[in-house]
């Protein structure tokens, strides 16, 4: 019996040994993706991982700097007329992988295809809702019912595809799908990328990412939040704020939110929060440049004892622990929070139906202040309680630029009777190879301009 | 056909569950492209298991089912084998590819399957042991030959889908990742396709089992 088992073991060993992988190419950045982004598609692609692929392989008309300001990208300049039409001047040196120049026709085709195709990205369709596009004197123009300030910030999320080729962009890296990997190779591009390439592997498991980081198989990655591991000698710790919050919606009115606003201040032990999160302070994300605002309801918070059922997404151990801490804090005031985990899809369905008392979820906001309108607008994806106000439409019309006084008025309106409250602001914690220079941003490492094109290896 | 009725009912129920899967996605998410490139490695892994398990059961006989070392190997979950492979894999070799995945797959699946087959073998004392080793080997071979198709039919759907944990830890997206992603994005038609294919494989093996009977 022993001999065959030994023979089998030797057979397995022989399978492994001769196929040992060659050392990684020094100039290629090795990265991981948590979810399968699906095929690269500038029209139908949706989701955070897909945004990363598109930001590497494509260029939007405008970009956002690491600080969130509007910067040129495919368009070297733009001009907005009084009727809301914005005309863009395209760069002459922007080219698709087949060598053809990016033209106004490509811009118009991308916009029209996003509006025409019912399977197109819901986020991009929402950005372009009611928009028209055309060509004037060889340059593209876009007209939208939205204020030009908002539209331009949102257009940074709409990379331009080559006409009739939804999988082809003009970005700083050429894309190639390999078995189990997504590879990008540097191109001759106006952003002048300095790293030779980036290669993503699908690593959904946090422990797998951790092991790969510690073994040096990943140039950068997010370590597991469950383990307080030392940063390997080859890497350094980089933190960056995110436009992400843990938000609680209330179908019981403002009362429970008034209590949650108190509890969030002292419910979460610092050792549980770590570097990844901190208690939220206002009603809307601070990272979007909005001022801090407390709930200003006309009524006093309800008196305990009372029991509330709080639905939350199952599977995130760190969020679960923080909610347990919140439950303990609520008990001190005589309230019982019944925590009910739900699978993401089931939770989303309950939210959409409005079938909940309290429900929480991690929300990643678009990188501009208009993102909060998703809470308020009648068809906003985050308006799950049917929140409405007769003055809302008028106020939204007054929001022309970030920082306008109208933002203050709008937040006052929301503060009187909010339907949701953030509990935690998240921060991204990543380990980066010490030799790689990157620029952290609330947009992450990829989604700003120049994004990965600005990375470089230090000698 | 009548003997397979309970099995068919299970597959119909699976199909109904796939088509009626409750829940929604926050924003519409596109279903993943099917990982065609994973079919060959998966077939190779299943073939290796389908050959190694009966071979070991044939060598070990029914006594193997009571061996404590086999029980110890059978106990750890897939996650442990994957983590062990990952931990022991030399850093200089780069990430474990298909070879590492195959190793973890066989380490996780083989002990359980060998026990399953060994337990199904009939007792050998006093006969055919009294007739000599050749008779014992022949008896085992005949039993395993009859058992093999039925065993394959029962276990094939499990092997094709239960590699999910290994794929997640080792970073090799394959068939397990595919069906889980379809669950996450509520791709009900894709899941129904999965159920139909697995039911087809089951039916194929089942029909052959009935032919042999």
With a threshold of 0.85, tell me whether the complex ipTM lies above it: no
Is residue A161 domain-shared with residue A197, that is, in the same domain? Answer: yes
Sign of torsion, CA B114 B120 B123 B129?
Answer: negative
Q: What is the CA radius of gyration of chain B?
A: 20
- For residue A14, what is the nearest residue in chain B, using CA coordinates? B99
CA distance A247 to B172: 33
Is residue A99 domain-shared with residue A211, that is, in the same domain? Answer: yes
Please name the residue that has the structure tokens 């194929």. Answer: B204
Residues from chain A that touch B95, judged by Cβ atoms under 8 A, are 21, 201, 212, 217
Asked if residue A409 is part of any domain, the answer here is yes
Is residue A309 domain-shared with residue A441, that is, in the same domain? Answer: no
According to the model, what pLDDT value does residue B208 have?
58
Cβ separation B22–A211 shorter than 8 A:
no
Name the token pair of B200. Answer: 């087809």
Asked if residue A14 is part of any domain, the answer here is no
Asked if residue A9 is part of any domain, the answer here is no
Mean pLDDT by 10 residues, chain A (459 residues): 48 46 64 88 90 96 93 96 93 95 97 94 91 95 92 95 96 91 94 95 88 92 75 91 94 96 95 90 92 92 92 91 96 96 94 94 91 91 92 91 90 95 94 94 92 92
Cβ separation B25–A8 shorter than 8 A:
no
Which residue among A211, A216, A348 places its CB closest to the CB of B25?
A348
According to the model, what pLDDT value does residue B211 have?
54
Asked whether the beta carbons of A44 and A117 are under 8 A apart, the reply is yes
According to the model, what pLDDT value does residue A100 have?
95
Q: Would an 8 Å CB–CB cutoff place A23 in contact with chain B?
A: yes
Is residue A248 domain-shared with residue A340, that is, in the same domain? Answer: yes
- For residue B38, what is the nearest residue in chain A, using CA coordinates? A179
Cβ separation A216–B91 shorter than 8 A:
yes
Cβ separation A19–B97 shorter than 8 A:
yes
Which residue among A44, A180, A216 places its CB closest to the CB of B172?
A180
Of residues A364, A352, A105, A419, the one with CA closest to residue A243? A364
Where on the phi/psi map is residue A278: left (φ > 0), alpha (ψ -120 to 50), or beta?
beta
Is residue A420 domain-shared with residue A439, that is, in the same domain? Answer: no
For A344, the domain range is 241-427
Name the token pair of A178. Answer: 């390999």
Asked whether the beta carbons of A302 and A257 are under 8 A apart, the reply is no
Q: What is the CA radius of gyration of chain A?
A: 24
CA distance A66 to A448: 6
Residues from chain A that touch B181, judged by Cβ atoms under 8 A, are 35-36
Is residue A222 domain-shared with residue A110, that is, in the same domain? Answer: yes
pLDDT tens per residue across span B184-193: 889 999 999 9
Asked if residue A7 is part of any domain, the answer here is no
Is residue A406 domain-shared with residue A443, that is, in the same domain? Answer: no
Is residue A192 domain-shared with residue A100, that is, in the same domain? Answer: yes
Is residue A412 domain-shared with residue A454, that is, in the same domain? Answer: no
Asked if residue A10 is part of any domain, the answer here is no
- For residue B36, what is the nearest residue in chain A, using CA coordinates? A179
Cβ separation A32–B26 shorter than 8 A:
no
Cβ separation A202–B171 shorter than 8 A:
yes
Asked if residue A11 is part of any domain, the answer here is no
Q: Would an 8 Å CB–CB cutoff place B102 in contact with chain A?
A: yes
According to the model, what pLDDT value does residue B161 have?
74
Is residue A379 domain-shared with residue A419, that is, in the same domain? Answer: yes
Residues from chain A that touch B55, judged by Cβ atoms under 8 A, are 4
Cβ separation A215–B91 shorter than 8 A:
yes
Is residue A449 domain-shared with residue A401, that is, in the same domain? Answer: no
- For residue B89, what is the nearest residue in chain A, using CA coordinates? A215
The CATH number that applies at residue A225 is 3.40.190.10
Question: Which residues partner with A427 through β-bridges?
Answer: A241
Is residue A286 domain-shared with residue A212, that is, in the same domain? Answer: no
pLDDT tens per residue across span A416-425: 999 999 999 9
CA distance A137 to B125: 95
Residues from chain B that touch A202, judged by Cβ atoms under 8 A, are 171-173, 177
Q: Distances from the Cα of A93 to the Cαs of A56, A169, A174, A250, A313, in angstroms?
A: 17, 14, 16, 51, 46
The CATH number that applies at residue A300 is 3.10.105.10
Q: What b-and-e string marks burial along A252-268, b requiring 16 or more CB atoms within 10 Å of the CB?
A: eebbbbbbbbebbeebb
Cβ separation B173–A202 shorter than 8 A:
yes
Query: Minimal Cα–Cα distance from A138 to chain B, Å?
Result: 35
Residues from chain B that touch A345, judged by Cβ atoms under 8 A, are 21-25, 183-184, 186
Q: In sequence order, what DSSP letters do the residues of A141-207 get, joined into one string? A: EEE-SS-HHHHHHHHTT-BPEETTEEEEE--SEEEEEETTEEEEEE---TT---SSEEEEEE---HH
Which residue among B33, B83, B173 places its CB closest to the CB of A39?
B33
Query: Minimal Cα–Cα distance from B64 to chain A, Å?
Result: 10
Cβ separation B181–A352 shorter than 8 A:
no
Asked whether the beta carbons of A333 and A362 are under 8 A apart, the reply is no
Q: Which residue has the higher pLDDT, B148 or B12?
A: B12
Residues from chain B that touch A6, judged by Cβ atoms under 8 A, are none
Q: What b-and-e string marks burial along A188-197, b requiring 16 or more CB atoms within 10 Å of the CB?
A: ebbbebbbeb
Q: How many domains does chain A have?
A: 2
Residues in B 173-202 with any Cβ partner in A closer than 8 A: 173-174, 177, 181, 183-184, 186
């Amino acid at each position: 019996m022993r001999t065959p088992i030994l023979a089998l073991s030797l057979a397995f060993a022989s399978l492994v040994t001769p196929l040992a992988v060659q050392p990684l190419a020094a100039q290629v950045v090795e990265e991981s993706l948590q979810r399968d982004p699906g095929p690269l598609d500038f029209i139908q692609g949706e989701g955070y991982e897909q945004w990363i692929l598109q930001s590497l392989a494509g260029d939007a008309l405008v970009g956002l700097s690491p600080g969130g300001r509007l910067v040129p990208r495919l368009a070297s300049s733009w001009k907005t007329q009084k009727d809301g039409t914005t005309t863009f001047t395209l760069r002459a040196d922007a080219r698709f992988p087949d060598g053809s120049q990016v033209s106004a026709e490509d811009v118009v085709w991308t916009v029209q295809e996003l509006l025409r195709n019912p399977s197109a990205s819901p986020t991009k369709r929402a950005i372009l809702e009611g928009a028209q596009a055309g060509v004037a004197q060889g340059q593209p123009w876009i007209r939208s019912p939205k204020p030009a300030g908002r539209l331009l910030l949102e257009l940074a999320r709409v990379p331009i595809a080559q006409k009739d080729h939804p999988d082809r962009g003009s970005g700083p890296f050429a894309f190639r799908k390999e078995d189990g990997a997504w590879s990008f190779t540097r191109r001759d591009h106006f952003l002048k990328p300095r790293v030779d390439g980036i290669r993503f592997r699908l690593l959904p498991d946090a422990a797998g990412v951790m092991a790969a980081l510690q073994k040096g198989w990943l140039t950068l990655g997010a370590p597991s939040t469950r383990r307080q591991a030392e940063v390997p000698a080859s890497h350094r710790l980089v933190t960056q704020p995110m436009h992400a919050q843990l938000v609680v919606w209330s179908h019981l009115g403002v009362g429970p939110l008034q209590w949650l606003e108190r509890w969030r201040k002292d419910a979460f032990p610092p050792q549980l929060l770590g570097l990844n999160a901190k208690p939220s302070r206002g009603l809307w994300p601070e990272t979007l440049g909005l001022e801090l605002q407390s709930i200003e309801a006309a009524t006093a918070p309800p008196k305990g004892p009372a029991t509330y059922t709080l639905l939350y997404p199952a599977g995130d151990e760190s969020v679960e622990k923080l909610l347990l801490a919140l439950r303990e804090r609520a008990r001190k005031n005589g309230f019982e929070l019944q925590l009910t985990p739900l699978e993401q899809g089931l939770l989303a369905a309950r939210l959409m139906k409005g079938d909940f008392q309290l429900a929480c979820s991690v929300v990643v906001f678009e990188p501009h202040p208009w993102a909060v309108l998703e809470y308020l607008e009648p068809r906003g994806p985050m308006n799950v309680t049917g929140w409405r106000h007769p003055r809302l439409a008028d106020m939204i019309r007054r929001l022309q630029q970030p920082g306008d006084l109208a933002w203050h008025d709008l937040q006052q309106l929301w503060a009187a009777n909010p339907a949701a409250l953030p509990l935690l602001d998240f921060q991204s914690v990543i380990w980066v190879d010490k030799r790689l220079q990157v620029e952290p941003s609330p947009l992450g490492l990829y989604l700003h301009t120049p994004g990965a094109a600005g990375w470089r290896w230090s000698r | 056909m009548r003997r397979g009725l309970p099995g068919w009912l299970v597959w119909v129920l699976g199909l109904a569950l796939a088509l009626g899967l409750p829940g929604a996605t926050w924003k519409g998410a596109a279903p993943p492209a099917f990982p065609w490139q994973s079919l060959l490695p998966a077939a190779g892994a299943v073939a290796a298991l389908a050959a190694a398990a009966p071979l070991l059961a044939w060598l070990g006989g029914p006594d193997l089912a009571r061996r404590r070392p086999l029980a110890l190997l059978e106990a750890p979950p897939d996650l442990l084998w994957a983590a062990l492979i990952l931990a022991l894999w030399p850093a200089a070799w780069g990430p474990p590819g298909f070879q590492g995945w195959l190793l973890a797959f066989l380490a996780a699946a083989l002990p359980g399957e060998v026990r399953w087959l060994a337990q199904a073998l009939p007792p050998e004392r006093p006969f055919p042991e009294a007739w000599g080793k050749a008779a014992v080997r022949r008896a085992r071979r005949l039993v395993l030959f009859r058992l093999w198709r039925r065993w394959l039919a029962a276990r094939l759907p499990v092997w094709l889908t239960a590699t999910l944990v290994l794929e997640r830890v080792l970073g090799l997206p394959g068939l397990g990742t595919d069906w889980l992603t379809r669950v996450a994005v509520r791709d009900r038609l894709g899941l129904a396709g999965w159920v139909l294919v697995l039911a087809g494989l089951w039916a194929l093996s089942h029909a052959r089992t009935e032919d042999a009977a």
